[in-house]
Structure 1
């Protein structure tokens, strides 16, 4: 599992932003601080609430130069529909192959079919590609402290 001070695992994955295009973390470090908000599944109650809260507070992250991306194991086409239905104004990264949840150490299995999804987690990556903030939920219904995430983004942009 990555920790504060570690180099963020680089990746290339599909980005759902209305279209579907490749997203490589290292190519976007100029957007830092980057908030990677992992969530278990689109269209579930807590995940919808979390992503809509990031949507509603996006200007607070932009005010400190931050860029928010949601990350889940859903297919990019599902994520685009989730974005559309919830009027999300930031991109969602599809980890359909589960490479990111493995690299960041936030994978878990859901019963009864043992479906592997992301734990709810947030990482802030600075312009040097380092993790400056890490939060992992204790349970699937726990949401992040959005103010703490914003403060971490502000600190990473300083």
Structure 2
């Protein structure tokens, strides 16, 4: 799992942004950094919906800091586009359908009692323009939301 100061694992994955296009982290660093990667276990679930909607409620603050926010989950890009539309999300959602990003970031968790395996732990990484992790937070409790003020402060420190 990347810690503050580590190089963020690069990846290419489908981006649900109303359409579906390719997203490569390293290609976006120059124009969009800092980049907030907010991993969540699954679309259309209670805490995940609350978290993504909270990022939406705060998107102006991130935009003012010239930061980009992306949600990341194992859901298909088609599911993520529907999730975006139903919740009025203005930022893109990255589909890690094959679980490669979750593996590279070391944040896999299971809901064994539900028969759900290999989803992302709720976690947030802020990646600076050099591809370095400037902030990381990972929760072992899927019911806990991140500290949004802390994330915003980490982004502001990069401004």
* Fold match by TM threshold 0.5: yes
Equivalence for 2:134:
132
Matched, 1:141 2:143: yes
Equivalent residue, structure 2, for 1:21: 21
What is the CA deviation profile of residues 51-96 of structure 1, one whole-angstrom value per residue up to 9, with x for unaligned ones? Answer: 0000010001111111100000000000000000000000000000
What does the per-residue CA deviation read over 1:111-149, in whole Å, with 9 as the maximum and x for residues that have no partner? 232421000000000000000000011311100000100
Contact 1:73 1:118 in 2 (8 A): yes
Alignment of 1:3-82 (within 5 A): 3-29=3-29, 30-82=31-83
TM-score by length of 1: 0.97
- 2 CA distance for matches of 1:96 and 1:107? 13
Gaps of 5+ in 2: none
Instruction: Specify the alignment match of 2:119 in structure 1.
Output: 117
TM-score (norm. length: structure 2): 0.96
Separation in 2 of the partners of 1:31 and 1:21?
A: 16
Unaligned runs of 5+ in 1: none
Runs of 4+ deviating beyond 4 Å: none
1:156 Cα deviation after fit:
2.1
Does structure 2 retain, via aligned residues, the 8 Å contact 1:125–1:156? no
